[in-house]
Chain A
Amino acid sequence: MKANTGKIIRVDLNAGAVSIETLPEDYYGKYVGGSGLAAKYFWENGDFNVDALSPEAMLVFMNGPFSGLKLSGASRNSCAGRSPLTGHWADSSCGGFFAPELRFAGFDGIVITGKSPKPSVLLIEDDKIAIVDGTAYWGKGIEGVNTDLKKKYGKNYRTVVIGPAGENLVKFAGIMNEGHHVFGRAGFGAVMGSKNLKAIVVKAEKKEMDLADPVKYEKLRKELNPKMKAALAASLLHENGTAANLEGGAFTGDVPVKNWTSNFWEGMADALTGSTLSEKYLTKRGACAYCGIVCKRVVEVKEGPFAIPEGPGPEYETIVAYGSLIGSLDLAATCKANKICNDMGMDTISSGVTIAWAMEAFEKGDITEADTDGIKLNWGDMETVINIVLPKMAKREGKIGALLAEGSVAAAEKIGKGSISYTTHSKRLEAPMHDPRGGGHGMALTYAMSARGACHVADPMLFVEMGSCFWPEIGFEFELEPKTDENKPEAAVMSIEMGALENSACFCQFADREVTIPEWLELFNTVPGYKWEIPDMMKAGRRVFYLKRLINYRYGLTAKDDDLTPRMLEPARDGEPEGVEINFTGMKEKFYKLMNMDPEKGIPSKTALAEYGLGDEAARVW
C-alpha cells in the first residue's frame, strides 16, 4: 500500500481501549479515502439502529490519500457518521493541520465508539495512543482549551476540540482544529460531546510518506502548486478570502437576504464583501497545511460594541449567515459572532439559518416572547444575537436556547403554525449561503441530491454553473446559463462524481479547480497508485455517491426526501432572479434517469449497483 497507511485507530471509550485495525486494501481503490472510505467502513461496521448521540454511535475521522503531501489544498480530513441534526448519514470536511499529522503518525483514520465515564482526551503520539483525563478542559471554550493543550503537550501538537455547544449536545455543534479550522456541518461536535471526548491531540515525529511513483509525483507537484497559486480565483481568495466575490453574488441574486425572503440588498455588496473585510479588519492571512493559496483570514476589531482581539476571521458562509441572512450589514458584528461560534463550537451556517428562521417566525408572530424568555428577535439586532442568543443556544439555556439548539427544522416542528414552510434546508440540514434561484438552478438539484442534505461543497455545482469547471475528457463541455434548467441534470451527474472524488480525496474545492482530469488521474496513480484509467476514477466517484444513497436508505430516506422547502423553491421576490421559477421536478426526474435510480426508493437500481461493484451492498436493500 502506498501513501495510505492502511491502518486506523479504533477507540472504544466504553472499555477505555485502543486498538489498531488494518483495512482491506481494496477499500481504497474502490472508495478512494476520506468520506468515501468512511462510508464504506460505516456501511460494514456501523450500527444503523442506534441514535447519533448514543454511546454505540460511530464517529469516523478519515484522511484522503494525499494528506501530508506538500500540495496546495490536499490535506483535509473528513469526519463522518450519523448526524444528530439530520438523523442520517453525513460527512463534514475540515482543512487545517490535523490530517497530515495523523498520516505522519501512521494512520488513515480514527473510529470512535462508546462513551468515556468522564471527560477525556485522545492523545496520539505516533503509535503511542492513550485516552487521558480531560476533566480540566470540560466546560471551557475552544480557544482556551486549544491554548492549554498546546501548553501542556507542545505547540506542534495538533488539536481537534469541541466547545460547550458540543458538550451540551447542540445539534449543530462543530469540531475545531487549531481553534481556526472547523468540521462545521451536521453536528459531529455533539457526537464527540455525547462520548465525553473533549479533544483529540496528535503529534508525529517523522514526516515521511511512501508514494507509488515519487519521481512522477514530484514533477506533477512542481507543476500543480504554482498553477493553483497563480489562478485568478486563488489570487482573489488570497487577497480577500472566500467572500472575495460576495459583491458579484449580491447582484446575481446568489446571496440570501432575511431568511431567503429577498435576493437583493444593494448595501451588502460593499458592506460585506471580502475586500471590505480586508480593508477594515484584516491583520494577516493564514493557510491550511502546505497550501500556497493562503485564503484564511485573521482579523481584529479594535473598537466599538463588537470589538474583538486578533483572531480567526469569518469565511463567506459566516459573513452571510451572520450578515444579510439575519438582516445585518455590520461586518464587525459578523466578526464577533464568528468568534463566539468558534469558541462555543457551533456551525455558523446552521446556527445563523436557525436564527434567521426564528427572526422571521418572531416577525410573523409564530414565535412570541413567551417562547423566547422575553427576548425580542428582530432583524439585524446583532447585540441581541451576540450577547444573548448565541450563548443561550450553546448552553441550551432557557426556552430560547433549548428551542434553537435543536436546529431550524426541529424548532419549526415544535412551534408548528406553518413555520416549517419558511425553513431553508434539505434532508434537515440547513442550506448554505448560495441561493440557487440566483446562483444557479442546478444547485437546487445538487442540494437536494447531497447525501448529508443541502450542501454547496458535496460537489462543485456552484463553480460548474459559474463557468469555472471544464472537463472535456469526461464529456463536460457545457456552456451553462445559471438561471435555467438546461443541461443541469447532465452537468450535475459529472459534478456529483467529481464532488465525491474531491471529498473522498479530501481535497479543497477552492484549490483543485485548476486540477485537470488528467492531472487528477496522475495524482491518484502516482501517490496511492490506484492504477486507474479515467473511467475507473469517475466510477469511483459515482460508487461513493451510490453507497451514501444506500446508507441513507437504511436510515429510512427515499426519493421524496430529495427535496427543498417551499421557501427555497418559490419564485424570487426581487433582484435579478425575480419571478423566475426553478424546474426542480423536471431536473430531478431527468437526474434520476441519468443516474439509474429508482424514483420511489431513491437508490440506484440493482443493475446499476452491480455495474459499480456494489452487488453485495445491493443485496441489503433490494
Chain B
Amino acid sequence: MEFWKDSNEAVTAISKMWENVGKDAELREGARKVNQLILFDYTESGPDCAVWVDCRKDAFVIGTGKPPDTPDLTMSLSADDAHRSWMNKLNPVMAITRKKIRVKGSATGLLKLVPKLKKVAVIYAQTLTDLGWADKIMK
C-alpha cells in the first residue's frame, strides 16, 4: 500500500474520521438525511479492512469489519484510494467510471453528502494530524 503501513492504519484513520464527522452538526444532519447503513469496503487491501456507518433512523453508529445488517450501500475500493477520496483528491465519478470504486445499492442518499466532501476532507486531515500521521496528508 502506498499510504498505509497495514490495513489497521486505514481502518483506524477512517473510523476515527467518521467519529469526528459525527461531532459536526451540519454533517451529522447530512448523515441523518442519508438514512442508510453504508459499508466502505476496503477488503481488497486486507481481510477485515472495512468501515461502516449506520445512520438509519437518526442513529450515527460507526463500526469496523462486517456490518450488523445488509448494507443499503456498499462502496468497494482500495484503502489507498479511500485515502485519496477522503482527502478530496479522487474524483468519485471518474473513479467509478474507471472501476476504481464499485458501488452496490442506492447512492441517492450519498449524493446528499457529496457537496460536503470538502468539509469532510478538512476533518480527515485534522484526524490524521491528531493520530500523528500528518505526513500522510496530501497537498
Contact B111 A468 (CB under 8 A): no
B115 sits at the interface (CB 8 A) = yes
Does A328 belong to the interface (CB within 8 Å)?
Answer: no
| Residues of B with C-beta under 8 A to A247 | 111-112, 114-115
Q: Which of A427-472 contact B (CB under 8 A)?
A: 466-470
> How close is B20's CB to chain A, nearest CB, in angstroms?
21
Tell me which of B97, B98, B112 has the highest count of chain A C-beta atoms within 10 A of its own C-beta. Answer: B97
Of B41-49, B51-59, B88-96, B129-137, the segment with at least 4 beta carbons within 8 Å of chain A is: B88-96
Do A236 and B97 touch across chains, with their CB atoms under 8 A apart? no
**A482 — nearest CB in chain B belongs to which residue?**
B91
Which residues of B sit under 8 angstroms from A467, Cβ to Cβ?
91-95, 97
8 Å CB interface, A225-272 against B: 232, 235-236, 239-240, 244-245, 247-248, 250-251, 269
Binds A, one of B61-69, B79-87, B100-108: B100-108
| A350 at interface, CB cutoff 8 A | no
Q: Which residues of B contact A236 (CB under 8 A)?
A: 107-108, 111
B92 closest partner in A (C-beta): A467
Interface residues in A, total, Cβ within 8 A: 19
Q: Which residue of chain B is the closest to A479 with respect to CB atoms?
A: B94
Q: Are B91 and A479 interface neighbours, CB within 8 A?
A: yes
Contact across chains for A251 and B115 when beta carbons are under 8 A apart: yes
Contact B108 A239 (CB under 8 A): yes
From B115, which residue of chain A is reached at the shortest CB distance?
A251
In the bound complex, how far is the Cα of B72 from the Cα of A239, in angstroms? Answer: 14
Q: How far is the CB of A205 from chain B (nearest CB, A)?
A: 41
Closest chain A residue, CB of each to CB of B98: A470
In the complex, chain B residues whose CB is within 8 Å of the CB of A479: 91, 94
> How many angstroms between the C-alpha atoms of A240 and B107 in the bound complex?
11
Cα A245 to Cα B115 in complex, Å, equals 11
A275 within 8 A of B: yes
A245→B111 contact, CB < 8 A: yes
Q: How far, in angstroms, from A503 to B106 measured CA to CA in the complex?
A: 30
Per-position binary interface string of chain A over residues 465-490, scored 1 when its CB falls under 8 Å from any chain B CB and 0 otherwise: 01111100000000100000000000
- The minimal Cβ–Cβ distance linking A514 to chain B, given in whole angstroms, is 9
10 contacts between A and B (CB under 8 A): A236-B111, A239-B106, A248-B115, A466-B93, A466-B94, A468-B96, A468-B97, A469-B97, A470-B98, A479-B94
- Separation of A269 and B26 alpha carbons in the complex (Å): 15
Our count of residue pairs bridging A and B at CB distance below 8 angstroms stands at: 46
Q: Which residues of the other chain, B, contact A239 by a CB distance below 8 angstroms?
A: 106, 108
Chain A: interface secondary structure? Answer: helix
B93 in contact with A468 (CB, 8 Å): yes
Which residues of the partner chain A approach B94 to less than 8 Å between Cβ atoms? 466-468, 470, 479
Q: Which residues of A contact B107 (CB under 8 A)?
A: 232, 235-236
Query: B109's closest neighbor in chain A, by CB?
Result: A275
Rounded to whole Å, the gap between the CB of A182 and the closest CB of chain B is 26
Q: How far is the CA of A184 from the CA of B32 in the complex (A)?
A: 39
Q: Are A250 and B115 in contact (CB under 8 A)?
A: yes
Residues of the B chain whose Cβ atoms lie less than 8 Å from the Cβ of A469 = 97
**In the docked arrangement, what's the CA distance between A469 and B92, Å?**
13
Whether the Cβ atoms of A269 and B93 lie closer than 8 Å is no
Given contacts A240-B108, A470-B97, contact A232 B103 (CB under 8 A): yes
In the bound complex, do residue B103 and residue A248 qualify as a contact, i.e. CB atoms below 8 Å apart?
Answer: no
Known: A244-B108, A468-B93. 15 other contacts (CB 8 A): A232-B96, A232-B103, A235-B106, A235-B107, A236-B108, A236-B111, A239-B106, A245-B111, A247-B115, A251-B114, A251-B115, A466-B93, A467-B97, A470-B94, A470-B98
| Choice from B96, B97, B111 contacting A244 with Cβ under 8 Å | B111
A247 to B92, CA, bound (A): 15
Find chain A residues with CB under 8 A from B91 CB: 467, 479
Task: Point out which of A232, A250, A251, A275 has the most chain B C-beta atoms below 10 A from its C-beta.
Answer: A232
Would B97 and A275 count as touching, CB distance under 8 A?
Answer: no
A460–chain B nearest beta-carbon distance, Å: 12
A residues in contact with B93, CB < 8 Å: 466-468
B93 to chain A, nearest CB (A): 4
Query: In whole angstroms, how far apart are the Cα atoms of A248 and B108 in the complex?
Result: 11
Give the shortest distance, in Å, between A324 (CB) and chain B (any CB): 15
Interchain CA distance A247-B96 in the complex, whole Å:
19
Alpha-carbon gap, A618 to B17, bound state (A): 62
A251 to B116, CA, bound (A): 9
In angstroms, Cα B111 to Cα A236, docked, is 9
- Rounded to whole Å, the gap between the CB of A91 and the closest CB of chain B is 27
Q: How far is the CA of A542 from the CA of B85 in the complex (A)?
A: 36
Give, as a whole number of angstroms, the nearest-CB distance from B47 to chain A: 26
**Smallest beta-carbon distance B21→chain A, Å:** 18
> Ordered nearest first, which 7 A-B pairs have the shortest CB separation?
A467-B94, A251-B115, A467-B93, A467-B91, A232-B103, A466-B93, A470-B97
Smallest CB separation, B12 vs chain A (Å):
29
- Closest chain-B Cβ to A464's Cβ sits at a distance in Å of 10
Residues of chain B lying within 8 A (CB to CB) of residue A470: 94, 97-98
Bound state CA distance, A378 and B79, in angstroms?
52
The chain B residue sitting closest to A481, CB to CB, is B91
Contact of B108 among A250, A269, A275, A468 (CB under 8 A): A275
Contacts of A275 in B (CB 8 A): 108, 111-112
In the docked arrangement, what's the CA distance between A311 and B96, Å? 34
Measured between beta carbons, the chain B residues less than 8 angstroms from A245 are 111
- Give CA–CA (A245, B114) in the complex, Å: 10
A516–chain B nearest beta-carbon distance, Å:
11
